[in-house]
Amino acid sequence: MHVGPTNSGKTHHALRALAAAPTGIYAGPLRLLAHEIWERLNLGSDRGNPQYARKCNMVTGEEVKIVDENARLYSCTVEMIKPNMLYDVAVVDEIQMIGDSERGFAWTEAVLGLDAREIHLCGEETAVPLVEAMLKETNDDLVVNRYERLTPLEVEKQSLGGDLSKIRKGDCIVTFSRRSIFQMKKDVERELGVNCATVYGRLPPEVRSEQADLFNDPNNGVDVLIGSDAIGMGLNLKIRRIIFAQVQKYHENHIQYLSISSTKQIAGRAGRFGLHGSESPGGFTTTLNEEDLPFLTRTMKLGIPALKTARLTPTYPSLVATASALPPHAAMNTIFLAHAYTSKLAPTYRYIYSTATRVCTNYLDAYIQGAAMSDYEVMLAAPIPWRDREAMPFVERLLTLFAGQGIARLGECLEETACVEALDKVEAPNARATHEDLSLLETFHKMLGLYTWLSYRRPVAFPDQTEAMDLKPRVQKGIEVALQSLGKNRVDGKSRRRVIDYSAIKQSGGDKVNKRAKLFAQYTAKYA
Domain final position from 146, 177, 208: 146
347 secondary structure, DSSP code: T
Q: With respect to residue 527, please indicate whether it lies within any of the assigned structural domains.
A: no
Whether residues 224 and 251 fall in one domain: yes
Whether residues 18 and 110 fall in one domain: yes
Is the CB of residue 528 less than 8 Å from the CB of residue 82?
Answer: no
Total number of domains constituting the chain? 3
Is the CB of residue 283 less than 8 Å from the CB of residue 271?
Answer: yes
Which segments of 22-81 are extended strands (E)? 24-28, 56-59, 64-65, 73-77
Whether residues 372 and 465 fall in one domain: yes
Domain final position from 301, 329, 352: 301
Give the whole-angstrom CA distance, residue 435 versus residue 379: 31
| pLDDT tens track, the chain, 528 positions | 999 998 898 999 999 999 999 999 999 999 889 998 998 899 875 544 566 689 999 999 888 999 999 999 999 999 999 888 999 999 999 999 999 988 999 999 999 999 999 999 999 999 999 999 999 999 999 999 999 998 899 999 999 999 999 999 999 999 999 999 999 999 999 999 999 999 999 999 889 989 999 999 988 889 999 999 999 887 889 999 999 999 999 876 788 999 999 999 999 999 875 554 445 578 999 999 999 999 999 999 999 999 999 999 988 899 999 999 999 889 998 998 899 888 889 999 999 877 778 888 888 999 988 888 899 989 989 999 988 999 999 999 999 999 999 999 999 999 989 999 999 999 999 888 999 999 999 999 999 999 999 999 999 999 999 999 999 999 999 999 999 888 754 444 444 443 334 344 555 544 555 555 665 565 554 433
CATH number at residue 124: 3.40.50.300
Domain final position from 146, 163, 179: 146
Whether residues 284 and 141 fall in one domain: no
Burial profile 268-279: b = 16 or more Cβ within 10 angstroms, e = fewer:
bbbbbeebbeee
The set of residues, in sequence order, having a beta carbon less than 8 Å from that of 218 and lying 6+ positions away, is: 238
Whether residues 140 and 87 fall in one domain: yes
Domain with 74, as residue range(s), is 2-146
